[in-house]
Structure 1
């Protein structure tokens, strides 16, 4: 799946794609941001809109 425009998508879609990529391809948020050339602050802002935060222990965004 092409995710170059990921951060322009609706937040709930971004959540699903990001958690899938973290689970399957990337061992950390840093790897995800680097691999897909994402703006980390924008990603965190989108997840905060939904009430989610990044949990490094489980390597996924979880409900706050």
Structure 2
């Protein structure tokens, strides 16, 4: 799936794409930044709005509201 403007996506859809890319294509958040063309701050702040934060030890965004 190619996305031209990830910053315009619904945060829940972005979460799915981000975690899938982290799992299959990107070894860390820095690689994901390059892949999506978004800064770490943009990704993290967007996903924080739906209750998710990056867990480096697991290389994925996980819910922090549970």
Same fold per superposition (TM over 0.5): yes
Instruction: State the distance in 1 between where 2:24 and 2:61 align.
Output: 14
Matched residue SS, 2:49? helix
Residue 2 of structure 1, CA deviation: 1.5
2:41 equivalent in structure 1: 41
Q: Which segments of 5 or more consecutive residues in structure 1 lack a partner in the other structure? A: none
Aligned Cα RMSD in Å?
A: 1.0
Matched residue SS, 1:50? coil
TM-score by length of 1: 0.91
TM-score by length of 2: 0.89
1:15 equivalent in structure 2: 15
Runs of 4+ in 1 over 2 A off after TM superposition: none
Structure 1 residues 17-64: Cα deviation after superposition (integer angstroms, max 9, x where no partner): 000000000000000101221122111111100110000011000000
Instruction: State the distance in 2 between where 1:55 and 1:3 align.
Output: 24
Aligned length: 64
Q: Which segments of 5 or more consecutive residues in structure 2 lack a partner in the other structure? A: none
